[in-house]
Amino acid sequence: MKTVVLVLLSLSVAFLFYILFIFPGNIIEKFLKIPDFKDPMYFLVIGHDRNIEGTSRADVIIVVGVKFKERKISFLSIPRDLVWNGKRVNSYFNKGVDELIKVVEKITGVKIDKYAVFDYRSFKILGDELGPIEVTVKEPMNYTDKVQNLNINFLPGVHKLNGEQLLAYIRYRKGGMGDLDRIRRQREVFSKIFSKALNMSPSKAFEVYSKLMESVETNVSQKELIGMLLKLKGEISLSFFQVPTVPQDNGTLKIDWEKFEEVKRAFLEFRKPKEKKSYNIIVMNAKRNKSKYFRPIEEKRWLLTVGFKPKDVLWEDTGIVLKGSLLLVCTKDHEAKDEIYDLVERVYPHRHFKLKWAAYLDGADLYYDIEKSALKIRRFLKKPVDAIVVLGEVGG
């Protein structure tokens, strides 16, 4: 009798393991009686820092579109400093998630079906449950804030990070590119976590969902979440968009409606974003070694990486020697600044660039110093100039 019980018990465990980890997803859906979902379906994802910084402002506002049949997901980021009807968008969250949903629907023209509100505790849980997440740190990251219980200390190199460390990595604000670096890190980490979430087993999804419910407000049920993950298992097409904006003198942003119409169409049609356009970029040699081979090497590097050559390459001795690397942005277009930085990061993935902007005093002084130094050797900056990439000694 004991033998029969043991055999039946073993068969039951094996069957449960098969259902949760091996059984085809479409059969699991029928087994769990998961309903069909609207296709496409739109979610509002809100990230806020109430539990860490003592406020209830929305730091992250993203509309997520999911096309289940075509296995496509689009993300549309709404800047928190965007002004709508005289108020910053993130301030509407103080009146509740429903109020923010109404504003987002008016801005995007999209009917929001579901929502999820995360705080930093949620992110720590995801990092612990789905980590470690591999990241590449390009510069020393050191920062301590006792008020926020924040202690960041990373050396350059490849790191595998879990919850607490991962949270510190995305919250670091003191880099050479400031908040732009922070946004890029968040997108990088979010993409990797999302990919891991799609490959969770149903049992793991149940476990993570239960832990998240302590720090997440959502109208997505556990059953719905499992069903969505099952429908999206495998290869997924991801597209990222951001509401284009025009900066105002008071530091707020307004929607650039002309550009937004095209962005909105691409988002709703689940298209990939347009390829980055070319810019008028000058590459300058600020290393001690001044070789004429610097020009062909850099031209080839840019052509192979981003599809166009720099407008000019200053390889000669201008008298400027720099430790480290610097990006001097000369255009006043905020969106172009971000795109240029993305291009430079792609061309030089192992360098860290400090940012200077010619629209401001320190950047303007540097631009004129470079121009004067070039004139001394009878080199003229070919205008218009969108940016100057200054390559100094590595490790500075």
At 212-221, the pLDDT tens digits run 877 788 898 8
How many whole angstroms separate alpha carbon 274 and alpha carbon 272? 6
The alpha carbon of 85 is separated from its chain's Cα centroid by a whole number of angstroms, namely: 27
Q: 389 pLDDT exceeds 70?
A: yes
> What pLDDT band is residue 267 in, cutting at 50, 70 and 90?
very high
Sort strands 237-242 and 72-77 into parallel, antiparallel or unpaired.
parallel
How many whole angstroms separate alpha carbon 67 and alpha carbon 109? 17
- The residue written with tokens 């406020």 in the block is 55
Mean pLDDT of the region 230-251: 79
The pair of structure tokens assigned to 14 is: 């094996």
* pLDDT of amino acid 19: 36
How many Cα atoms within 13 Å fall on the side-chain side of residue 37? 27
* pLDDT of amino acid 85: 92
- The residue written with tokens 């769990």 in the block is 32
> What pLDDT band is residue 136 in, cutting at 50, 70 and 90?
confident
Q: Is the alpha carbon torsion for 166, 170, 176, 181 positive or negative?
A: positive
Backbone angles phi, psi at 274, to 5 degrees: -60, 150
How many Cα atoms within 13 Å fall on the side-chain side of residue 325? 20
Q: 232 pLDDT exceeds 60?
A: yes
Backbone angles phi, psi at 64, to 5 degrees: -115, 120
* pLDDT of amino acid 167: 79
Q: Rounded to whole angstroms, what are the CA distances from 111 to 44, 104, 171, 216, 268?
A: 10, 9, 31, 22, 12
How many whole angstroms separate alpha carbon 240 and alpha carbon 52? 27
SS3 265: helix
Contact call for residues 378 and 372 (beta carbons, < 8 A): no
The alpha carbon of 212 is separated from its chain's Cα centroid by a whole number of angstroms, namely: 22
Lowest mean pLDDT among 53-57, 239-243, 272-276: 53-57
* pLDDT of amino acid 386: 92
Contact call for residues 163 and 127 (beta carbons, < 8 A): yes
The pair of structure tokens assigned to 55 is: 């406020």
Nearest 5 degrees, angle CA 335-CA 338-CA 343? 125
**Domains delineated in the chain:** 41-268 (3.40.630.190), 281-391 (3.30.70)
* pLDDT of amino acid 256: 86
Nearest 5 degrees, angle CA 331-CA 337-CA 338? 170
Contact call for residues 351 and 325 (beta carbons, < 8 A): yes
Phi-psi region of 203 (alpha: psi -120 to 50; beta: other; left: phi over 0): alpha
Rg (CA), the chain: 25
Q: Does 310 or 21 have the greater pLDDT score?
A: 310
